Chain A
Amino acid sequence: MTSIITGAEQGDIIAVQGLTKRFRGFTAVDNVTFSVRKGEIFAFLGPNGAGKTTTIKMLTTLLNPTAGTIQVNGHDPRREQNAVRESFGIVFQDQSSDDELTAYENLEFHGVLYGVPKQLRRERIEQLLKIVELWDRRDARVKTFSGGMKRRLEIARGLLHHPKILFLDEPTAGLDPQTRNRMWEYVRQLNREESITVFFTTHYMEEAEKVAQRIAIIDHGKILVQGTAKELEKRTGKRTLEEAFLALTGHQLRDEEAGAAEQMRMHRQAWRGRGR
């Protein structure tokens, strides 16, 4: 019975139903329903401020939803936080490394918290730092890094332990094309060889089309359409995903530019107000 109510079918590692998040009158995520199958690469595609990051925060126990149900690896992020945290890894959209620690120490810290055994930890840290071309800078403090280097370090960190689900929140924003390709190569290999489910957000069309098996287009907190790239093209009657995306979000965006800025401001106020 419960599986019917929550919509969690066999083989779904993430099942979300009617998910809503409101911040004092501003609805960041609005009645969103979707599911991700085990071993799938799933993309959340949408413009800035669409509600992608807020959704990820609710999936990863950082934020409680206003309404709706979530199942991550069979657990509720609200009630079984530790069980949910055991099952995923995440690369955040904004900085989350410790500036005062070195690149190596940041990875070491992560590896210990995630229980990666010492030997394996060392091997993977070396391998990953070489992939993101930071091995030579491993003993430099992160505060001396450029924005792109910090980004690369955090991607390496997110891949250090091999979780069941990997959340990547705009992982390639600000990366050069070479690093971007190498990163996706590594992620796909993890997906193939260890059947790690990948959930990523992006506002790059070609990235969603190239990497993801299924895509959900989200805007203003609502999922507009979801399916494979081919299905989305067929459903919207457009020849490419880019055209489909623009058809769905483009005009709205231009019309509501002021509205979006207003919403951002309200969002910010809601957050500031909470502390007082």
Chain B
Amino acid sequence: MRTLSSIYILWLRQIKRYLRSPARIAGSLGQPLLFLVALGFGFGPIFQKAGGGDYVQFLVPGVIAMSILFTSVFTGVEIIWDRQFGFLKETLVAPVSRITIMVGRTLGGATISVFQGCVVLLLATIFGFRFSPVMLLPALLFMLLIALLFTALGTAIGSVLEDMQGFQLIMNFLLMPLFFLSGALFPLSGLPEALTVIASVDPLSYGVDGLRASLIGLVHFGVALDLIVLAAVAGVFLAVGSYLFTKIQI
């Protein structure tokens, strides 16, 4: 009972912090919108000519995945802020297991990310994106899996880093490659061998594929494989994140 109410209050805290920072909401919507407009309309004609069909339709699931990726990792590494502003201590000495704290935080971060993904989806419809509403449910499931996976990754990173200086490194050498090599922007078929291999070990590829399958019916790996890989990697990251989180010393 106390575990559940603790998870709830930790979740609620994340949500409140998110809703109270309109700048953060606006800021995190700017990037996906830019990608949607610049790439979607910029590459649209070429994509069409090459026989790929409507590029905006193709791109939107990728941009949703991107938005979830960044939001998730950011909410995960919020631990660094909590450490610097002292609030982390308050949660770490509480008579609640650190796994519980980790779960509450992760669910909070994942909720925010899924919400963010839904907002991007809604905005995309303004730019002409069409999808069948029935497929919203599987799409939400994929959004949730991507969100859990990367919030847990963010928590793991945040547990090890002591300040924000190392974060730029993570951004350039982890998040950017994860995004650009995931097939969010281009089809994964017919690529050079090396790129195919890299894309197939990038967990985000499976998230993008699952979302694309749900929303526009285009599939590369197969929905079952997408689900299995996402769930398995999310499980591993949650375990690693929990372990590192329990080892935090202040």
Please give me the residue from chain B that is nearest to A58 by CB atom: B249
Q: How far is the CA of A115 from the CA of B96 in the complex (A)?
A: 9
Interface 9-residue window, one of A36-44, A82-90, A202-210, A217-225: A82-90
Q: How far is the CA of A150 from the CA of B87 in the complex (A)?
A: 12
Contact across chains for A100 and B20 when beta carbons are under 8 A apart: yes
CB of B95 closer than 8 Å to a CB of A? yes
What distance in Å separates the Cβ of A259 from its nearest Cβ neighbour in chain B? 26
Interface 9-residue window, one of A60-68, A177-185, A242-250: A60-68
Q: How far is the CA of A61 from the CA of B97 in the complex (A)?
A: 12
CB of A133 closer than 8 Å to a CB of B? no
Please give me the residue from chain B that is nearest to A106 by CB atom: B90
CB of A105 closer than 8 Å to a CB of B? yes
Contact across chains for A62 and B163 when beta carbons are under 8 A apart: no
CB of A251 closer than 8 Å to a CB of B? no
Chain A residues, CB < 8 A from B93: 60-62, 85, 88, 90
Task: Name the one of B86, B162, B250 contacting A275, with C-beta atoms under 8 angstroms.
Answer: B162
What distance in Å separates the Cβ of A149 from its nearest Cβ neighbour in chain B? 15
Task: Name the one of A86, A98, A157 contacting B95, with C-beta atoms under 8 angstroms.
Answer: A86
User: For residues 80 through 124 of chain B, which have their beta carbon under 8 Å from a beta carbon of chain A?
Assistant: 85-87, 89-97
CB of B189 closer than 8 Å to a CB of A? no
Contact across chains for A272 and B162 when beta carbons are under 8 A apart: yes
Q: How far is the CA of A82 from the CA of B21 in the complex (A)?
A: 34
Interface 9-residue window, one of B1-9, B128-136, B171-179, B193-201: B1-9
Which residue, A92, A115, A274, has most C-beta atoms of chain B within 10 A?
A115
Contact across chains for A113 and B86 when beta carbons are under 8 A apart: no
Chain B residues, CB < 8 A from A114: 94-95
If A110-B90, A115-B2 touch, whether A82 touches B16 (CB-CB below 8 Å) is no
Chain A residues, CB < 8 A from B85: 95, 98-99
Interface 1/0 per residue, B6-20 and A, CB below 8 Å: 101100010011001
If A96-B87, A109-B9, A115-B2 touch, whether A62 touches B95 (CB-CB below 8 Å) is no
Which residue, A57, A101, A112, A271, has most C-beta atoms of chain B within 10 A?
A112
Contact across chains for A92 and B89 when beta carbons are under 8 A apart: yes
Chain B residues, CB < 8 A from A113: 6, 9, 91, 94-96
Contact across chains for B163 and A98 when beta carbons are under 8 A apart: no
CB of A55 closer than 8 Å to a CB of B? no
- Using a Cβ–Cβ cut-off of 8 Å, how many residues does chain B contribute to the interface with A? 29
Contact across chains for A101 and B9 when beta carbons are under 8 A apart: no
What distance in Å separates the Cβ of B90 from its nearest Cβ neighbour in chain A? 5
Contact across chains for B90 and A96 when beta carbons are under 8 A apart: yes
Chain B residues, CB < 8 A from A69: none
Question: Range of interface residues on chain A?
Answer: 20 to 34
User: For residues 157 through 172 of chain A, which have their beta carbon under 8 Å from a beta carbon of chain B?
Assistant: 157
CB of A197 closer than 8 Å to a CB of B? no
Which residue, B5, B95, B249, has most C-beta atoms of chain A within 10 A?
B95
CB of A97 closer than 8 Å to a CB of B? yes
What distance in Å separates the Cβ of B164 from its nearest Cβ neighbour in chain A? 11
Contact across chains for B16 and A97 when beta carbons are under 8 A apart: no
CB of A262 closer than 8 Å to a CB of B? no
CB of B38 closer than 8 Å to a CB of A? no
What distance in Å separates the Cβ of B198 from its nearest Cβ neighbour in chain A? 28
Contact across chains for B95 and A115 when beta carbons are under 8 A apart: yes
CB of B166 closer than 8 Å to a CB of A? yes
CB of B161 closer than 8 Å to a CB of A? yes
CB of A94 closer than 8 Å to a CB of B? yes
Task: Name the one of B95, B161, B162 contacting A85, with C-beta atoms under 8 angstroms.
Answer: B95
Contact across chains for A82 and B95 when beta carbons are under 8 A apart: yes
Contact across chains for B95 and A97 when beta carbons are under 8 A apart: no
Contact across chains for B162 and A274 when beta carbons are under 8 A apart: yes
Which residue, A63, A88, A110, A113, has most C-beta atoms of chain B within 10 A?
A113
Binding site for B on A (CB under 8 A): 57, 60-64, 82, 85-86, 88, 90, 92, 94-101, 105, 108-110, 112-115, 141, 157, 271-272, 274-275
Instruction: Supply 7 further A-B pairs (C-beta < 8 A) apart from A101-B17, A271-B162.
Output: A82-B97, A85-B95, A92-B86, A98-B17, A100-B20, A109-B13, A157-B90
Interface pairs A-B: 10 shortest CB-CB: A275-B162, A96-B86, A113-B94, A112-B9, A85-B95, A86-B95, A95-B86, A96-B90, A62-B250, A115-B2
